[in-house]
Structure 1
Amino acid sequence: MPQAIRNTSRPQPALWWALLALLALSLVYLAPAGRTYILLDDNLDTELVAPYVLVREGKALDYRPGTVVERLLHGLPRNAMRPGLQPLVGLQALLPTLPAYLLHEWLVRLAGLLSMYWLLRRYGLPGPRQAGLSAALALAWAVLPAYTAYGVSVLGQPAVVVVLLNLRRRPARWTDWAVLVGFAVWSSLVLAGLFVLAGGAAALAWDAVRTRRVAWRAALGLVLLALAYLVVEFPLVYSLLLSGRFVPHRLEFDYARLVPGGVGAGLKSAALYFLVGQYHSGLFPHLAPLLAAGAAGGLLPAGPPRPPVRRYLALALGLLALVSVFCGFYPQLVGAVQNVVPPLRTLNLARLHFLLPLAWFGVLALSLAYLPAGRGRWALVSLQLALGLGLNTEWTRNAGRLLGRLPASEPTYAAYVAPDLFRQVRQDIRTRTGQEPAAYRVACLGLPPAVASLNDFYTLDAYQNNYPLAYKHAFRPVIAGELAKSPELRTYFDAWGNRCYLFSAELGKDFRVGARPGRTVQHWQFNAAAFRQLGGRYVLSAARLAHPGQSGLRLFGQYAAPGAFWQLWVYEVSQ
């Protein structure tokens, strides 16, 4: 491997150009009146709600036993939600939701660029002539389509690697400890932290076997990272390990029903992991690293002294293949043993894929280090930058919006949240009943409950990765009639259930029924009595019910607003 270099006292011009490029690329997000596109699925429909409701109820840092968040699932335990110490929560306390998200996104990508540049200049591509290439590769890392709502879970990993390598070589500095604590605060333990800790421990164990000495300072760094996670993620740790009273709905995950079995399905999934990765952690074709590895292995001189790069690359690609096979076949593996080892239902070890983007960039950087200087190396980095940016849906959709080409099925934040539309509903209910949102509960059909939550309604439904199993059982009778009509939806709820939604067999998994062209549900088997027993009073529906009386409902009002993605029919329980 190339030798490490010393820190320079001032950032080099190449880094400034990379920072300016990142800032320029971020300008496509600017739009008046909230007309910015941000990721909808698994993002706006879930990840922004928790910080919003925690701040609105003043419970971001309220970890007392028994504290509940009233706005979700008629009282979701506070300890089932994300930590209040995470920066996205703090930003939502200072700024409106969209500016807070966009600032957080930019800060995450800035941290990603700086951490990758730090790793490359210190250990990957050292030397005075490598600064430009390092800055360009760091920019390619920073624009990857990773979900930034998870903080620096992916893009900040290079900084952890640098610190562990530093601790292996020299005495610790306060900045090393600060970086590790900062990573714990700004990332997710269950998504990436567990695997960063496991990967770091495995690397240190291998290093100890190879060198016959233990890098104790680096090991203490991992211990500090683990302890920091325990502090930051105290709500989760307390609810699952200490209180003994919280039984998560994840205990009923049934992988055998959720994922098609068979060798063919596993191989296809493994191939996708190896070739393009997974969308939460960063979905991009691994073409540039594979081409670079092939070029580096093929262009080495045949005679001695022969660099060991072929062995390094073969080992790296072999490990990546093994991880891909594990992730691809993980659902089948868990499905086979889930009854014997029930805790495996709650832990998704396939999230090991959160380490794959950094591993692939490691292959790319290692290959570039051994390729001769010239246009070939720049072409590979440019290819990686183009592929990463081109697969970054938020960036491409906002660029398309500036050109007037945003698809009608992909609304902007303002159209999706539609504050004017939901304000009409709140005001109408207040005028006719005298009640504020806290006095009644709603549920949504044909639109994510997150939209209602972001408009200050108190919902009985939500998209939650962790909530009480007892609530799932209590909610099921409300939708049992529709689940009986659709085996697909029945499996979706019973064997998974993160989307604790009102379902319709006629709508299927269409959770985004726009005003145009609109939908009508002919027969909806809704258990109004069970809904009322949970405290529900109104159904906010993006689809018209042809026969609401058959569902125990009556039309309360029909609502539309200019620029809103939705048209709403509000139904009230009639019994």
Structure 2
Amino acid sequence: MEPSTITTYLKRERTYLMGALLLIILWVLPYFVLGEQAHMRILDNLDSNIAWYKVLIDSGQLFGPITAHIPQIINGHLSRDAYYSEYYGMIELFRFFPPVIAYGLNQAITRLIAFLGMYLLLRRYVIKEQNHGFIRVVAALTFALTPFWANGMLSTLGMPLALWAFLNIKNHEKTWVSLVTLTLLPFYSTFMLGFFFFLSAMGVFWLVEVVRSKKAQLRLFFSIIYMTVIYLAVEYRDVMSLLFSTEKTNRSEFYESKNNLIETIKLIFKNYFIGHNQDEALYEFVIFPTALIALIIVIMEKRWRQEKLFIGLHLANFLLSVWYSFWWYQGWAPIKEKISILNTFNFSRYHYLRPMIIYILFAVSLQILWTYNKKWRTWAIGFAILQLVVLVPSNEQIWYHNQPTFKQFYAVNEFKEIKNYIGEPVQNYRVVSIGLHPAIAQYNGLYTLDTYNNFYPLSYKHQFRKIMAPELAKSKTIGDYFDQWGGRCYLFVSELGKNYMFSKESTKVIKHLDIDTQVLKQMGGQYVLSAVPIKNADENSLKLQKVFDSNDAYWRIYLYKVI
């Protein structure tokens, strides 16, 4: 290839890169422009993590000892270890910036590094041809725009950068840059919710390389160990809890393997095409048909040997869905009952590897179409653009436009009125919520008996259950939901089911509430915050104090006092 031609390709690729960076900036810009009027995901985000950061920082226990507890939550029974390490980048953002700005910065940092990591990986190890710059850039861009779980930071979207660094070290390239990458990533990602699965997969890769090359591959081995040690140091609280805690937690009653064989097979294909809510790749609309057409071309052209990576990616993508689905198969139950770590740790999460695998597969599929003939090159460009179009509605401002904004959800002004009406220091009384997430009261500084957390004492779960035992007896759905998981330690009501999003527009009324108010009082509960009216409040020793309705709040709050 002539130098002038190479220069032309490089200029084009730089143009593509600038365009991609501009699109990422536009993608995250609404958080900074709209502020608290921005929309964002509620599940495992507004209903939990965002409030957790504020509670943790306000508690004064951010750097607290291993034995520290959070007094604001469940009467101080919640361990400091239940929240993120103080060394996580996400925590630092929320320490120094307003919540929406911190969230927006996290989105920007994660998506930019995701783009960089995938681009570097593709350029050096997958799509190496000079004239395929468009494929490298568009595959990296689409990967960076996927609707990832923001509180995981780079737990999934940082994997391509880590893989690039490991391969560099293995090949004696860019060693210092790669070591710095492996050093910093653990401070902006999680071990338990992402990189445990990546690093264990890298361990398998190392073993395969040892067998294949008949060499020890020590550089790769020690780099994997090095990154693992840093993760364990960053997440020292979780490590200490795992090794030394003797108290049973709600995870001890996490009964997850309940699907029969037919349900398991259905789940394979549901996960394969749709994915999991924490690592959606939006694979089914464009990438799957693109990869299928590429596979047909490979079969027709008998290019099996030349396209080993492509075939391997297809297999890995499907097998990860099989693994995920069979983790919930009821056949596992007897084994999980005997080996506690199989209950307390979710090994199904190897599916977190799928976004990286899917978008590398997308890049390779586009390359196969691109090189097949000129007609299919046009199709490759079309598929790439179509995937960008598919991703646009996943932007949180579009996807969640029918849900409350940040300001409406947390209803700060409305809760100021509630606290002023009660007129006591918040640490002097305890509240529970009905029909809305406890995280809202927690975000506003109230001390709650209810919570959303996967790591709290089993004894507290059993104690809290007594409050709503009559309600759980009315509904097998909410009874099993609480008893067989309990992460949402909520005051469930059979008439509401598992719905905790009753807006001020709701006409729902609780007609037959049946709770044990004496247990509630014994636990210190003095107020009930309900998003819907309770018709038989008197029968439950509850007295309506006042109805709060603020223009900028999503909720109408009925404040009941326990009498």
Compared CA separation, residues 205 and 369, structure 1 to 2 (3 A): farther
User: Contact (CA 8 Å) 1:81, 1:236: kept in 2 or not?
Assistant: no
Provide the C-alpha distance between the structure 2 equivalents of 1:199 and 1:291, rounded to a whole number of angstroms. Answer: 27
Provide the C-alpha distance between the structure 2 equivalents of 1:123 and 1:501, rounded to a whole number of angstroms. Answer: 49
Provide the C-alpha distance between the structure 2 equivalents of 1:229 and 1:474, rounded to a whole number of angstroms. Answer: 35
Provide the C-alpha distance between the structure 2 equivalents of 1:341 and 1:470, rounded to a whole number of angstroms. Answer: 21
Provide the C-alpha distance between the structure 2 equivalents of 1:115 and 1:95, rounded to a whole number of angstroms. Answer: 26
Deviates more, 1:497-506 or 1:64-73: 64-73
User: Contact (CA 8 Å) 1:538, 1:573: kept in 2 or not?
Assistant: yes
User: Contact (CA 8 Å) 1:172, 1:217: kept in 2 or not?
Assistant: no
Provide the C-alpha distance between the structure 2 equivalents of 1:540 and 1:303, rounded to a whole number of angstroms. Answer: 66
- Structure 1: tracts of 5 or more residues without a match: 399-405
Deviates more, 1:185-194 or 1:120-129: 120-129
User: Contact (CA 8 Å) 2:122, 2:360: kept in 1 or not?
Assistant: no
Q: Secondary structure at the match of 2:132?
A: helix
Which of these residues, 373, 377, 381, is aligned with residue 378 of structure 1?
381
Write the letter of the residue equivalent to 2:142: A
In structure 1, what is the equivalent of residue 274 of structure 2? 276
Compared CA separation, residues 245 and 339, structure 1 to 2 (3 A): closer
In structure 2, what is the equivalent of residue 366 of structure 1? 364
Provide the C-alpha distance between the structure 1 equivalents of 2:332 and 2:45, rounded to a whole number of angstroms. Answer: 26
Is 1:329 aligned to residue 331 of structure 2? no
In structure 1, what is the equivalent of residue 290 of structure 2? 292
Q: CA deviation at 1:43?
A: 1.2
Compared CA separation, residues 92 and 303, structure 1 to 2 (3 A): closer
Q: CA deviation at 1:427?
A: 0.7
Is 1:413 aligned to residue 406 of structure 2? yes
Provide the C-alpha distance between the structure 1 equivalents of 2:145 and 2:314, rounded to a whole number of angstroms. Answer: 23
Provide the C-alpha distance between the structure 2 equivalents of 1:357 and 1:303, rounded to a whole number of angstroms. Answer: 28
Is 1:92 aligned to residue 94 of structure 2? yes
Cα distance per residue 1:138-175 (max 9 Å; x no partner): 11011101111110011111001101110110066332
Is 1:207 aligned to residue 230 of structure 2? no
Provide the C-alpha distance between the structure 2 equivalents of 1:48 and 1:40, rounded to a whole number of angstroms. Answer: 10
Compared CA separation, residues 12 and 78, structure 1 to 2 (3 A): same
Q: CA deviation at 1:255?
A: 2.2
Provide the C-alpha distance between the structure 2 equivalents of 1:290 and 1:16, rounded to a whole number of angstroms. Answer: 28
Q: Secondary structure at the match of 1:559?
A: strand
Q: CA deviation at 1:488?
A: 0.7
Matches within 5 A, 1:420-499: 420-430=413-423, 435-499=424-488
In structure 2, what is the equivalent of residue 349 of structure 1? 347
Compared CA separation, residues 235 and 551, structure 1 to 2 (3 A): same
User: Contact (CA 8 Å) 1:297, 1:310: kept in 2 or not?
Assistant: no
User: Contact (CA 8 Å) 2:113, 2:158: kept in 1 or not?
Assistant: yes
Is 1:527 aligned to residue 516 of structure 2? yes
Which of these residues, 23, 26, 37, is aligned with residue 24 of structure 1?
26
Q: CA deviation at 1:382?
A: 1.8
Write the letter of the residue equivalent to 2:333: G
Which of these residues, 57, 61, 82, is aligned with residue 55 of structure 1?
57
Q: CA deviation at 1:330?
A: 1.2
Write the letter of the residue equivalent to 2:446: F
In structure 1, what is the equivalent of residue 159 of structure 2? 157
Cα distance per residue 1:23-55 (max 9 Å; x no partner): 122234455461111001121101112211111
Q: Secondary structure at the match of 2:224?
A: helix
Deviates more, 1:306-315 or 1:106-115: 306-315
In structure 2, what is the equivalent of residue 319 of structure 1? 316
Q: Secondary structure at the match of 1:266?
A: helix
Q: Secondary structure at the match of 2:547?
A: strand
User: Contact (CA 8 Å) 1:171, 1:217: kept in 2 or not?
Assistant: no
Provide the C-alpha distance between the structure 1 equivalents of 2:180 and 2:447, rounded to a whole number of angstroms. Answer: 39
Q: Secondary structure at the match of 1:467?
A: coil
Provide the C-alpha distance between the structure 2 equivalents of 1:489 and 1:540, rounded to a whole number of angstroms. Answer: 20
Higher helix share: 2
User: Contact (CA 8 Å) 2:31, 2:100: kept in 1 or not?
Assistant: no
Is 1:69 aligned to residue 66 of structure 2? no
Provide the C-alpha distance between the structure 1 equivalents of 2:468 and 2:160, rounded to a whole number of angstroms. Answer: 46
In structure 2, what is the equivalent of residue 198 of structure 1? 200
Compared CA separation, residues 510 and 283, structure 1 to 2 (3 A): farther
Compared CA separation, residues 371 and 561, structure 1 to 2 (3 A): same
Deviates more, 1:271-280 or 1:31-40: 31-40
Write the letter of the residue equivalent to 2:471: E
Compared CA separation, residues 296 and 419, structure 1 to 2 (3 A): same
Provide the C-alpha distance between the structure 1 equivalents of 2:201 and 2:521, rounded to a whole number of angstroms. Answer: 49
CA root-mean-square deviation: 2.3
In structure 2, what is the equivalent of residue 402 of structure 1? none
Q: CA deviation at 1:313?
A: 3.0
Deviates more, 1:289-298 or 1:553-562: 289-298
Is 1:517 aligned to residue 520 of structure 2? no
In structure 2, what is the equivalent of residue 401 of structure 1? none
Deviates more, 1:494-503 or 1:341-350: 341-350
Which of these residues, 492, 502, 512, is aligned with residue 491 of structure 2?
502
Which of these residues, 386, 394, 397, is aligned with residue 396 of structure 2?
394
Q: CA deviation at 1:490?
A: 0.6
User: Contact (CA 8 Å) 1:444, 1:461: kept in 2 or not?
Assistant: yes
User: Contact (CA 8 Å) 1:252, 1:496: kept in 2 or not?
Assistant: yes
Deviates more, 1:315-324 or 1:153-162: 315-324
Residue identity over aligned pairs, in percent, reads 27
Compared CA separation, residues 541 and 152, structure 1 to 2 (3 A): same
User: Contact (CA 8 Å) 1:527, 1:552: kept in 2 or not?
Assistant: no
Q: Secondary structure at the match of 1:517?
A: coil
Write the letter of the residue equivalent to 1:308: R
Which of these residues, 525, 547, 562, is aligned with residue 536 of structure 1?
525
Write the letter of the residue equivalent to 1:68: H
Cα distance per residue 1:79-136 (max 9 Å; x no partner): 1221111112111111121221122112111111111111111112223322232122
Deviates more, 1:366-375 or 1:158-167: 366-375
Provide the C-alpha distance between the structure 1 equivalents of 2:118 and 2:174, rounded to a whole number of angstroms. Answer: 20
User: Contact (CA 8 Å) 2:436, 2:531: kept in 1 or not?
Assistant: yes
Cα distance per residue 1:407-442 (max 9 Å; x no partner): 2xx111111111111010011111xxxx21122111
Cα distance per residue 1:331-350 (max 9 Å; x no partner): 12432422222321111111
Q: CA deviation at 1:191?
A: 1.4
- Structure 2: tracts of 5 or more residues without a match: 1-5, 372-376
Write the letter of the residue equivalent to 2:103: Y
User: Contact (CA 8 Å) 2:135, 2:363: kept in 1 or not?
Assistant: no
Write the letter of the residue equivalent to 2:27: L
Compared CA separation, residues 171 and 514, structure 1 to 2 (3 A): same
Compared CA separation, residues 215 and 287, structure 1 to 2 (3 A): farther
Is 1:572 aligned to residue 561 of structure 2? yes
User: Contact (CA 8 Å) 1:80, 1:239: kept in 2 or not?
Assistant: no
In structure 1, what is the equivalent of residue 549 of structure 2? 560
Q: CA deviation at 1:287?
A: 4.4
Task: Work out the number of aligned pairs and report it.
Answer: 548
In structure 2, what is the equivalent of residue 403 of structure 1? none
Q: CA deviation at 1:254?
A: 1.4
Q: CA deviation at 1:286?
A: 3.5
